[in-house]
Amino acid sequence: MIPVLLGIGALVGGYLVVTNWEEVTKWLQDFLPKIQEVLKSTGIGDYAAKLFSSIEDGALRLVHKLYYKENGKWIEKTTTREIDESQVPEWAKVGLSAKETDVTERYEKELELTV
């Protein structure tokens, strides 16, 4: 199971402030398929992922939470991206506040991705 942890750990985790919306969409387009491939290749069958978002102090936080089962225990890995609110399209800001909101379906639909 060590390779599983290393593979997922290399892709997930961390906090990054990005400068523009295109970086966020490119990150999601690259990141999500890689996560799914690592999980498939390592044989992890039980997993789920969600995207959460919030707006506070003029910045949008986008948080990817990956949950997977390893050795009978559920593990959570979190990756966070933050971007200046002025760079974010309106559809991504609708209904957000300082409280984390599940935006998985919205992003899947708008960006045509599978989280």
Tokens 């984390």 belong to which residue? 100
Q: 63 forms bridges with which residues in the sheet?
A: 52, 80
| C-alpha distances in Å from residue 79, one per residue of 1, 33, 72 | 21, 15, 23
Residue 41 is predicted with a pLDDT of: 84
Q: How many CB atoms lie within 10 A of CB 23?
A: 14
- The single-letter DSSP state of residue 105 is H
pLDDT digits (tens, 9 = 90+) for 60-90: 999 999 998 888 888 899 999 999 999 999 9
Specify the DSSP element, H or E, that contains 53: strand 47-56
Tell me which amino acid residue 62 is.
L
Question: Between 94 and 71, where is the model more confident?
Answer: 94
